């Protein structure tokens, strides 16, 4: 929703612009074209390393929202991957491995190169410091380049993302030969056409088709790696240079972490007479210790008991993050399914262990020693306690464990659970799903995307139906509550059979091979080399590199539509140009102006209007006169509109009418990047010309 202040500011600025004379408008275009240089933006660049590193692949940077010692799989993956690539014995071609922190706090770190100890001291207060025992000698950390006029604006629009311009500036400043960006497709803001060095997107993906803004956002990357086979398959529908490479999973590390944590816990328990004889499983799933909500239960209450095999409790572990209002992780389904499971199989001794942590805890490190979030900060996600109570599950059958635990305890839960319940609506990879199976614990998942790819020891339940999330970019699965409950029953009754034990062993061996760090590192090495070849091949034809705009006929930069309700954006052109059917447009002239302006260093076009002439050749006013205002259109609709495809695709989901989409983008853009192209490229046709066009069966030409 656009605020009244934004509304007024857009109108005032555009009104002032429309009062300019024709000479002033043309001067505006000329002075923002290729001839102009911005001394303020270029002073810093003049001192940078001038070495031409084209064709080299020695210095590689990993872009991530956080540091290696922070909580999260992306941090862990990057740390170990870069450590392997820095191994000179295996990969002698690489010289240095870099880590570039992205996020809303990233610019608090000054430009420069740092050791882990140095950057830990410079990190913002809310970022946890590096533990003393942490080994980060293989990494050099980077502060983002000093902000330019462009990147300053981008940071205000999307502070959590790093922009293409920032990556390009960093490549030049720090002599980086390639970047690896692990994260969702939208973690890089598109303020330029091309990456100046090979840049690999290592992405999860949550939909069955690559449509709209996702398609446009993928285009600039040199190479794309899907975290799951289904991701690579769907991306191949829109581009050929894509491969599959999962996260690495090391069951030995999981078991070692669990063993070390249990050993530490046992030392504590030895001093407590009533607890010293507890089994490992009882230590891990100590309900009274980890869920203070149920202090009303008896002090000797146990979620699990292991007196004998027959008395064993079927422990259902539902573990994962909880920070999305859309409940992507399927907490609601998991809890409903357990209640249904209890209803269908009352004879089975069971316990549901719900483990998650609130969004406000994410800023803390994995040992829980980071800075606490302010108490007034409202958590995101779903109300887990409310969900279990709404299902009327007896208190002795569940534990809600909302604590940020050490990795060792999280690992121990996966090892000592009987099943991991993970009926997400969608997963881009599903770390919990694979980790549980890697230590022999079966899983119940949803048969959709990565969960279907990676469920071997367990049951992947077909969804009951689909949910459409237009604001998120596609459809998600709606897990089947009854189907999930039945799957829990099947595993509870059959997990001890020889057939199931063999399936578990086979899956453990498959994970050792498929998700080994050695395999992932070799795959990334191959992808980086492929990316370099692709980059060198594409370099001469990159829009940011060619000095003269290509012909619209041979290489169009924009898709043309005369439909006020355009079809879904599924084209490859970087822009969409809308104009009315009675407006004649010189596409080559528009393309030249667009190319010259949008490829200027430090410049960006977020939205552009092409000043249109009436059929007599007189420029039309931009703003609608007050007495002509129809309550919808603030701009005269004769003026053609240029919008970036990725931004239009995002706006289109909620604003299908082209003028509404343009108005929304105007209100959410920095005004200095809303451009007006001078008259001369568009003109309203006379009535006789329109009639002739209708007779001939077309409405517009590339020549005036």
Per domain, the residue ranges of the chain are: 4-34+547-696, 50-248+519-539, 285-366+379-515
First to last CA, the chain: 38
Ramachandran region, residue 473 (left: φ > 0; alpha: ψ -120 to 50; beta: rest): left
Q: What SS3 state is found at 148?
A: coil
Length of the chain: 704
pTM of the model: 0.86
What dotted CATH number matches 285-366+379-515?
3.40.50.2000
pLDDT in tens, 526-540: 999 999 999 999 999
Residue 580: pLDDT over 60: yes
**Helix or strand or coil: residue 564?**
coil
Mean pLDDT of the region 313-332: 91
pLDDT at position 126, please? 58
* CA distance linking residue 445 with residue 421, whole number of Å: 7
> How far apart, in whole angstroms, are the C-alpha atoms of residue 419 and residue 487?
10
C-alpha–C-alpha distance, residues 107 and 146, integer Å: 8
685 neighbors 693 (Cβ within 8 angstroms): yes
Instruction: Give Cβ neighbours of residue 160 (< 8 Å, ≥ 6 apart).
Output: 65, 102, 103, 104, 187
Q: Is 260 helix (H, G, I), strand (E, B) or coil?
A: helix
Residue owning tokens 């998700």: 515
101: β partners: 64
Strand spans (E) along 359-486: 398-402, 419-422, 443-446, 458-461, 465-469, 474-478
Q: At what angle do helices 251-269 and 431-438 cross, to 10 degrees?
A: 80
Is 643 within 8 Å of 665 (Cβ atoms)?
A: yes
Q: Is 120 helix (H, G, I), strand (E, B) or coil?
A: helix
Per-residue pLDDT at 370 exceeds 80: no
Express each pLDDT in 36-81 by its tens digit: 333 333 444 444 445 789 999 999 999 998 899 887 789 999 999 9
Strands 641-644 and 607-610: antiparallel
Q: Are both 50-248+519-539 and 285-366+379-515 of the same fold?
A: yes
What is the band of 159 on the pLDDT scale with cuts at 50, 70, 90? low
Q: 445 has which bridge partners?
A: 422, 460
pLDDT over 50 (residue 400): yes
Compute the radius of gyration of the chain from its Cα atoms: 29
Question: Above 50 in pLDDT, residue 256?
Answer: yes
Q: Coil, helix or strand for 523? A: helix
Quick one: residue 183, left, alpha or beta (phi over 0 = left, psi -120 to 50 = alpha)?
left
Residue 102, token pair as written in the block: 């992205």
Query: What is the assigned CATH class of domain 50-248+519-539?
Result: alpha beta
Please classify residue 4 by burial: count the beta carbons closer than 10 Å to its beta carbon, then call 0-12 exposed, 13-18 middle and 19+ buried.
Answer: exposed
pLDDT (0 to 100) of residue 665: 85
């Amino acid at each position: 929703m656009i605020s009244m202040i934004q509304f007024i500011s857009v109108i005032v600025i555009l009104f002032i612009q429309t009062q300019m004379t024709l000479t002033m408008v043309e001067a505006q275009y000329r002075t923002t074209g290729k001839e102009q240089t911005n001394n303020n933006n270029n002073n810093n660049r003049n001192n940078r390393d001038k070495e031409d590193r084209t064709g080299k692949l020695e210095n590689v940077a990993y872009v991530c929202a956080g540091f290696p010692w922070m909580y999260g799989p992306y941090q862990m993956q990057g740390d170990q991957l870069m450590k392997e690539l820095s191994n000179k014995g295996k990969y002698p071609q690489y010289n240095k491995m870099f880590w570039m922190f992205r996020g809303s706090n990233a610019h608090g770190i000054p430009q420069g190169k740092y050791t882990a100890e140095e950057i830990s001291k410079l990190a913002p207060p809310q970022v946890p410091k590096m533990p003393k025992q942490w080994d980060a000698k293989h990494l050099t950390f980077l502060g983002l380049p000093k902000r330019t006029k462009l990147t300053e604006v981008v940071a205000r629009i999307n502070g959590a993302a790093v922009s293409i311009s920032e990556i390009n500036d960093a490549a030049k400043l720090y002599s980086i030969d390639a970047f690896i960006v692990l994260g969702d497709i939208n973690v890089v803001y598109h303020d330029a056409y091309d990456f100046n060095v090979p840049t690999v997107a290592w992405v999860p993906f949550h939909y069955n088709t690559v449509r709209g803004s996702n398609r446009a956002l993928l285009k600039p990357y040199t190479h794309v790696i899907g975290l799951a086979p289904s991701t690579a398959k769907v991306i191949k529908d829109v581009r050929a240079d894509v491969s599959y490479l999962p996260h690495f999973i090391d069951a030995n590390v999981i078991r070692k972490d669990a063993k070390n944590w249990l050993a530490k816990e046992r030392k504590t328990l030895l001093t407590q007479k009533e607890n010293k004889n507890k089994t490992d499983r009882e230590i891990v799933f100590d309900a009274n210790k980890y869920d203070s909500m149920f202090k009303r239960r008896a002090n000797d209450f146990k979620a699990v008991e292991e007196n004998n095999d027959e008395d064993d409790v079927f422990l259902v572990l539902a573990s994962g993050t909880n920070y999305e209002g859309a409940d992507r992780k399927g907490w609601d389904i998991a809890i409903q399914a357990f209640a249904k499971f209890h209803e269908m199989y009352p004879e089975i001794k069971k316990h549901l262990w719900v483990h998650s942590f609130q969004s406000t805890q994410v800023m803390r490190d994995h040992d829980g020693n980071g800075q606490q979030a302010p108490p007034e900060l409202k958590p995101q996600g779903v109300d887990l306690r409310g969900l279990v109570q709404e299902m009327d599950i007896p208190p002795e059958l569940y534990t809600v464990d909302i604590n940020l635990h050490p990795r060792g305890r999280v690992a121990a839960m996966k090892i000592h659970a009987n099943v991991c319940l993970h009926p997400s609506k969608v997963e881009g990879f599903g770390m919990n799903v694979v980790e549980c199976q890697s230590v022999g614990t079966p899983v119940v998942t949803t048969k959709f995307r990565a969960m279907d790819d990676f469920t071997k020891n367990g049951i992947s339940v077909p969804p009951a139906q689909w949910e459409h999330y237009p604001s998120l970019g596609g459809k998600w699965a709606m897990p089947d509550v009854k189907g999930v409950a039945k799957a829990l029953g099947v595993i509870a009754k059959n997990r001890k059979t020889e057939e199931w034990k063999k399936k578990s062993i086979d899956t453990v061996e498959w994970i050792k091979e498929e998700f080994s760090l050695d395999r992932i590192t070799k795959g990334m090495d191959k992808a980086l080399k492929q990316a370099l070849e692709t980059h060198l091949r594409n370099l001469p034809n990159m829009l940011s590199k060619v000095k003269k705009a290509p012909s619209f006929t041979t290489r169009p930069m924009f898709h043309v539509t005369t439909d006020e309700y355009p079809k879904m954006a599924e084209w490859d052109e970087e822009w969409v140009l809308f104009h009315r059917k009675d407006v004649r447009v010189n596409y080559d002239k528009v393309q030249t102006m667009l190319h010259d302006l949008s490829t200027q260093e430090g410049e960006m076009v977020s939205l552009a209007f092409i000043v249109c002439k009436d059929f007599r050749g007189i420029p039309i006013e931009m703003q609608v006169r007050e007495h002509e205002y129809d309550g919808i259109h603030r701009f005269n609709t004769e003026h053609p509109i240029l919008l970036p495809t990725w931004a239009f695709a995002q706006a289109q989901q909620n604003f299908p009418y082209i003028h509404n989409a343009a108005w929304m983008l105007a209100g959410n853009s920095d005004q200095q990047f809303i451009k007006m192209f001078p008259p001369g490229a568009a003109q309203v046709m006379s009535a006789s010309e329109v009639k002739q066009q209708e007779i001939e069966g077309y409405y517009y030409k590339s020549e005036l």
